[in-house]
Structure 1
Amino acid sequence: MEATKTAKRERDLTQLLTLVERRVVSRLSAALTAGDCSIDEWRVLSLLADGRGHAMTEIADYAMLPPPTLTKLIDRMVSSNRVYRRVDDTDRRRVLVFLTPRGREKHTALSAVVDDESNRLAAAVGPEETALLSALLTRIAARLT
């Protein structure tokens, strides 16, 4: 009986996490779509905004994308002149990805959109709850690696 209750709680937690993630992503996607950008592209732009250049494996990890999906996304971003690839000067086997000036402009413009949506989300949820949820999810993610 206790095992059934535990399994039920785990399903409920999974469902709740999925529900919240889908609602948050839906809101952010709607905001980004107006700027001709997907969530995945936004994640890539936001990582590359530091100007240091990043390897594909690092970008895939950050954007939570499988490598083949990321490769297709980067190809599209290269075609739209938002990013470019360059061989790493210190390790010629690696390719680094950087923002182009157009990609930097896109990131700057969309940063305001993302900030606005984040503020609306925090207002809807409440700043204390948002901070608590962020802290809890950070701890849980660290424990589950």
Structure 2
Amino acid sequence: MTDTPDRPVEELVALLTRAERLSVRRLRAALEEAGCSADAWRVMALLADGRGHGMTAMAEHVVLPPPTLTRLVDQLTDDGVVHRTVDPLDRRRILVHLTPRGRQLWQRLDQRVRGAWPELPGGGDEELLAALLRRLVAALEGAPATAPSRGANGR
């Protein structure tokens, strides 16, 4: 890819798109043998903290529409990977947790994914990259969907 200092937004979008596609391809390959989808892995990754999560927070975290997430959680429940409980603080909410079997599956999958994930050169760059991506996501979530109008000079 050529360096395009006069088009940083286009380059950034292209690099993010390529990194996302390559990451998902590697993730799917690591999970394929276990018969686990990337979406199911993301759900289990969230639930691995042991706190239990509501469906709305899960949908936001795993970036799935609520109906799709509900079908996925139903399937994971049928497979004995997760279970639902009533939130003790708000009886109207349902929390989703990993079962003991789900926790064992998660640990095996996590090892597979970590083994398939390349380490970035320079040591510690993963934390820097994660921090930068969090800042970008926060900025994009707070930014208007359309570009702001520019001054008379086009900048």
Q: Same fold per TM (> 0.5)?
A: yes
Q: Secondary structure at the match of 2:83?
A: strand
Q: Secondary structure at the match of 2:75?
A: helix
User: Structure 1-normalised TM-score?
Assistant: 0.83
Pair 1:144-2:140 in alignment: yes
Task: Give 2:78's aligned residue.
Answer: 79
Deviations along 1:42-84, one digit per CA (max 9) or x if unpaired, are: 1111111122211001111111111111011101101111011
Q: Distance in 2 between matches of 1:51 and 1:132?
A: 26
Task: Count the aligned residue pairs.
Answer: 136
Deviations along 1:80-126, one digit per CA (max 9) or x if unpaired, are: 110111111221110111111111110111111121122xx22xx42
Aligned CA distance change for structure 1 residues 89 and 136 (closer, same or farther; 3 Å) = closer
Pair 1:15-2:14 in alignment: yes
Q: Distance in 1 between matches of 2:86 and 2:127?
A: 40
Query: Counterpart amino acid of 2:136?
Result: I
Q: Distance in 1 between matches of 2:37 and 2:18?
A: 19
Gaps of 5+ in 1: none
Task: Give 2:99's aligned residue.
Answer: 100
Q: Secondary structure at the match of 1:86?
A: strand
Pair 1:68-2:67 in alignment: yes
Task: Give 2:90's aligned residue.
Answer: 91
Q: Secondary structure at the match of 1:144?
A: helix
Query: Counterpart amino acid of 1:83?
Result: V
Task: Give 1:54's aligned residue.
Answer: 53
Task: Give 2:27's aligned residue.
Answer: 28
- Structure 1 residue 131: Cα displacement: 4.8
Root mean square deviation of aligned Cα = 1.9
Aligned CA distance change for structure 1 residues 55 and 112 (closer, same or farther; 3 Å) = same
Bigger fraction of residues in helix: 1
CA radius of gyration, larger in:
2
Gaps of 5+ in 2: 142-155
Aligned CA distance change for structure 1 residues 54 and 131 (closer, same or farther; 3 Å) = closer
Q: 2:121 aligns with which of 117, 126, 130?
A: 126
Query: Counterpart amino acid of 2:113?
Result: V
Q: Distance in 1 between matches of 2:10 and 2:65?
A: 25
* Sequence identity (%): 47
